[in-house]
Structure 1
Amino acid sequence: MTVFTGKSVYDAAVCGLICILRKPKLSAERMHVDDISTELKRVEAARIVATEQLQQLYELFLDDVDDISTELKRVEAARIVAAEQLQQLYELFLDKIGESNAQIFNIHMMMLEDEDYNGSIEGMIRSEQVNAEYAVARTSDVFAQMLEAMDNEYMRARSADVRDVSNRLLSILTDTPMDFPWVPENSVVCADDLTPSETAALERRNIAALVTAHGSAISHTAILAHSMNIPTVIGIGDEFLANIRPGEQALVDGFSGEVILEPDAGILSKLTAPQEKSTDISEGTHTADGTHVSIYSADDPCAPLPEYADGIAVFGCPLLSDETKQYEYYRAIAERTPDCRAIIRMPVISPKDPDRQVKYDQQIRAVFRAASHGEPGILFPMITSVPEARKILAACDDAKMELRAEGVKCSENVKIGFMVEIPAAAIISDCLAPMADFFIIDSDSIARHTLACYEEDCFSPDFADGQLEAVMRLIGNSARNAVKNGARIGICGSLAGDTSLTGDFLRMGIDNFCVTPDRLAEVRKRVTEVDLEV
């Protein structure tokens, strides 16, 4: 009996037989060929065959092209077909998993319209005179790697969506169906990772559970698996795949995140044992002395609101092509949380973008319009000075006046917050606090900039020992200034989910914790144990 541990995204325990999906990496190679169609046929003939699975290998060859307009037209035609396919998936899953969860496919449609993504593909075709397949594959790699390098877990999880959308375009361009292999009944499907499209393509009635070596608990794949009621463990590691065999019995424990190979009779008997709930949640979250605390789920707007969450914090909103589409996106978030609050972080727009102010104003207008359907707060990132904060407040006032003048319904009571993510904001928090309704401290970003290190090193035992004090002082300074000026104060990032620090944060005055779904129950339990009067 061997035990592996990952992150659970659905609380259920099942036993099934291992089915391994071997998925080769998408590759794009720079090489000239005389006849691309011949090479693609060669690749088709070189399918990867494993004893447990058959999977198509896409291998894209660069070819210099003379007719750039033809390649651009091919991309546009593929984009139209991809949008049609995604619309069909949305309609198919609408009844199966509900509108909020089916929105995953609408978000993929929005990604097809992303200006930066499309601009990269078009720019590569024009400047390098490459074929459409290569431009899509290279753009996919660049954008996915950029997201994977970010210090925000939500944004890292979006890399899978970029690859999924890109693979869909590539399948259309290469005329290769995205059909996913059949899996036998009662399968514990195991893979390196799964995209939302691959998860949706699996035959649900044959799946006992899903297990992936990589991935995020807040990825769209995890959300989709949760909505399909599939016990799922994510991020279990490469060693797991190296030690499993097709047909081997496995118990997937969605409560603990454990996967047990060849479980004994004693373990199997626990499958029917009732699971203990954390604490009663009917009256919100309070400390032992009765102080109310909000615990928000830092997750995706498509995900069902987790059981222990008082609200949601959406830290990675897409930059859409016009105000109406942006409004519809934000409206869906506002309507998803009618009885609790949502926090919407504005996207960061490059200062080099000539249309930066126009796009920023559209974002603000869209949130104020969406706020008439719920209670979202608007969070502005990367604040470094008082003049910058004043400019933001003026832009918000202008947006409200414009909408009123146009007769457009909007909210007059949108809460405005500043994200404290760099030391400059923490140091001048006494000046910023009177201008804000709330602060959200990004503990990962503060630590990275304060300690001048990579995020993965910030909280490692060897490095963080003795270094955390500087980060905690900046957090404490921000919290005290917020409380002093009547602003609410929240925290997100790795430290927000560290229950050994929950008491310290509460005593600083922090009353909002934005954590990933897998940390909600533990953080809430710890909050209820803290007595601020002692």
Structure 2
Amino acid sequence: MLEEGFNAEYAVEMAQNQFAELFAAMDDEYMRARVADIKDISRRVIRILAGIPEDGILADEPVIVAADDLTPSETVKMDKNKILAFVTARGSSNSHTAILARSMNLPALVNTGLEAGESLNGKIGVVDGFHGEFLVEPEPELLDQMIHRKNQWVADLEALEQLKGKDNAASDGRRIDIFANIGKVEDAEAALEADAGGIGLFRSEFLYLGRDSFPTEEEQFSSYKAVLEKMGDKKVIIRTLDIGADKKVDYFCLEEEENPALGYRAIRICLDRPEIFITQLRAIFRASVYGRAAIMFPMIVSVNEIRRIKEIVGQVKKALSQEGYPIKEVELGIMIETPAAALISDRLAREVDFFSIGTNDLTQYTLAVDRQNQKLESTCDTHHPAILKLIQMTVENAHRAGIWAGICGELAADTDLTETFLSMGVDELSVSPSSVLKVRKAVRDL
């Protein structure tokens, strides 16, 4: 572009627009929310190139941060000890603001349509994250009620902290493992801080996104090794890549699809393009000696898929041994996230070491409901008898075959179902780090 007469700032702007458009078109809500991150990084680079100093967000006392939206670089500058809550006019539950709020255990309201202006400065406000309300200058009686509720919430959080180191056992002796879901290497620290029993879902997509070429074996090895070393003797279940047409990655050269959720994705890509799969498997097995690794494969619908996977795994292990790399035996499991997999789980169970039930996709495929469509929220009943019946069937078939079965979807953190899952015999629940102690409490209260 310099040869064409454009400056570096313009080049950054053009690259930003290209990647922002790419992410905005993705079906996955989490990935769409990353548009704000892309724009934030680009804005910072442009300011540096243009020699414009960065503006910080400063506060001399604890405050509610109200804004149109917040970017990662803005929140990084904040003194986290002085933030009471976040309120933004735009954003989503997967926006950076919402993610930060969850990690800090702070109330947050996003996509409120709020007109955040100077008129709010200095006023008393209340953010009720439980009921989605933002109150400005509330009446004294209402303010007292809210303060009482806040104190109770803080006491509840402190009580949860006392559960660290405790067993996940009900009063009648029934117990269950509670693991954490993570999406990048840095999240392992949060899992340990939450006293998770291990990592029940390590999403490996982060290695493939936000770049213009495939991650090398060494890059992947380094990431898996870092998490395994961090977790020590705790199990880390790595899910092989779940890239697909809904997560558009240019260098995969995937064709446009009418219905990407049902299309060319996950294990279908891996088996069709084994060179991608083999690189990831080599990295995982090389890293296996640094901890307790397990591997699970997404979007399985047939026994033949598993047998082909095991053939490739065998080839990888043999090649690594011949090359002199030390490796360990790891458990091989599959995700049960399609009705087909649940219905033939008796046959699938004879081929693997464990099941992990992905309730997010299982729900949308069983109910024929797009879980990203807000108009269908009332139809997307995660407690639907059909969903629970498929989960129970899967767990029973796993146990008959002598393997364990867990749940790693959002439903795992639904404490209204904790007793149901225990009664079904579910062996493990894998949830976000912030939900680990909450679920432990639900188990121990039974």
Instruction: Check whether TM > 0.5.
Output: yes
Matched, 1:281 2:164: yes
Cα deviation for residue 492 of structure 1 reads 2.5
Match of 1:428 in 2: 344
Equivalent positions of 1:348-497 (< 5 A) are 348-349=242-243, 356-410=273-327, 412-456=328-372, 462-463=378-379, 468-497=384-413
Rounded to whole Å, the distance in 2 between the matches of 1:466 and 1:250 is 34
Q: 1:162 to 1:134 in 2, by over 3 A?
A: closer
Cα deviation for residue 298 of structure 1 reads 2.0
Query: Aligned to 1:275, what secondary structure does the other structure show?
Result: helix
Rounded to whole Å, the distance in 1 between the matches of 2:337 and 2:243 is 16
Rounded to whole Å, the distance in 2 between the matches of 1:518 and 1:330 is 22
User: 1:217 touches 1:518 (CA, 8 Å); kept in 2?
Assistant: no
Among 234, 238, 253, the residue aligned to 2:108: 234
Among 235, 241, 258, the residue aligned to 1:347: 241
Matched, 1:330 2:246: no
The one-letter code of the counterpart of 1:179 is E
Query: Aligned to 2:357, what secondary structure does the other structure show?
Result: strand
Rounded to whole Å, the distance in 2 between the matches of 1:140 and 1:260 is 37
Among 318, 321, 324, the residue aligned to 2:207: 318
User: 1:349 touches 1:356 (CA, 8 Å); kept in 2?
Assistant: no
Query: Aligned to 2:224, what secondary structure does the other structure show?
Result: helix
Query: Aligned to 1:295, what secondary structure does the other structure show?
Result: strand
Cα deviation for residue 448 of structure 1 reads 0.7
- Number of corresponding residues: 401
Matched, 1:150 2:28: yes
Q: 1:326 to 1:163 in 2, by over 3 A?
A: farther
User: 1:317 touches 1:344 (CA, 8 Å); kept in 2?
Assistant: no
User: 1:422 touches 1:446 (CA, 8 Å); kept in 2?
Assistant: yes
Equivalent positions of 1:220-231 (< 5 A) are none
The one-letter code of the counterpart of 1:139 is Q
Cα deviation for residue 248 of structure 1 reads 1.7
Q: 1:255 to 1:477 in 2, by over 3 A?
A: closer
CA deviations 1:172-224 (Å, max 9, x no partner) are 6x63647133424124333344333222234x289434514366778766776
Relative to the length of structure 1, the TM-score reads 0.64
Match of 2:175 in 1: 292
Cα deviation for residue 432 of structure 1 reads 1.3
Match of 1:138 in 2: 17
User: 1:218 touches 1:516 (CA, 8 Å); kept in 2?
Assistant: no
Please say which of residues 250-259 and 336-345 is displaced more in the overlay: 250-259
Rounded to whole Å, the distance in 2 between the matches of 1:427 and 1:290 is 30
CA deviations 1:227-267 (Å, max 9, x no partner) are 8xx67333444155569701223467999998765475846
CA deviations 1:257-311 (Å, max 9, x no partner) are 9876547584658888872413633243123222331112223431322425222
Rounded to whole Å, the distance in 2 between the matches of 1:356 and 1:459 is 37
Q: 1:527 to 1:162 in 2, by over 3 A?
A: farther
User: 1:222 touches 1:232 (CA, 8 Å); kept in 2?
Assistant: no
Equivalent positions of 1:163-178 (< 5 A) are 163-169=39-45, 171=47, 175=50, 177=52
Q: 1:366 to 1:189 in 2, by over 3 A?
A: same
Query: Aligned to 2:174, what secondary structure does the other structure show?
Result: coil
Q: 1:238 to 1:429 in 2, by over 3 A?
A: same
Rounded to whole Å, the distance in 1 between the matches of 2:321 and 2:232 is 23
Rounded to whole Å, the distance in 2 between the matches of 1:496 and 1:163 is 33
User: 1:448 touches 1:454 (CA, 8 Å); kept in 2?
Assistant: yes
Q: 1:296 to 1:166 in 2, by over 3 A?
A: farther
Among 53, 59, 67, the residue aligned to 1:191: 67
Q: 1:467 to 1:249 in 2, by over 3 A?
A: closer
Q: 1:379 to 1:465 in 2, by over 3 A?
A: closer
User: 1:185 touches 1:206 (CA, 8 Å); kept in 2?
Assistant: no
Rounded to whole Å, the distance in 2 between the matches of 1:165 and 1:398 is 42
The one-letter code of the counterpart of 2:170 is T
Cα deviation for residue 414 of structure 1 reads 1.5
Please say which of residues 265-274 and 439-448 is displaced more in the overlay: 265-274
Rounded to whole Å, the distance in 2 between the matches of 1:375 and 1:307 is 19
Rounded to whole Å, the distance in 2 between the matches of 1:271 and 1:508 is 36
Among 102, 112, 124, the residue aligned to 1:249: 124
Equivalent positions of 1:59-70 (< 5 A) are none
Query: Aligned to 2:169, what secondary structure does the other structure show?
Result: coil
Higher RCO (Cα < 8 Å, 6 or more apart): 1
Q: 1:321 to 1:141 in 2, by over 3 A?
A: same
CA deviations 1:54-95 (Å, max 9, x no partner) are xxxxxxxxxxx7967x87xx88xx8xxxxxxxxxxxxxxxxx
5+ residue gaps, structure 1:
1-64, 79-130
The percent of aligned pairs where both chains have the same amino acid is 32
Cα deviation for residue 444 of structure 1 reads 1.4
Relative to the length of structure 2, the TM-score reads 0.75
Q: 1:190 to 1:310 in 2, by over 3 A?
A: farther
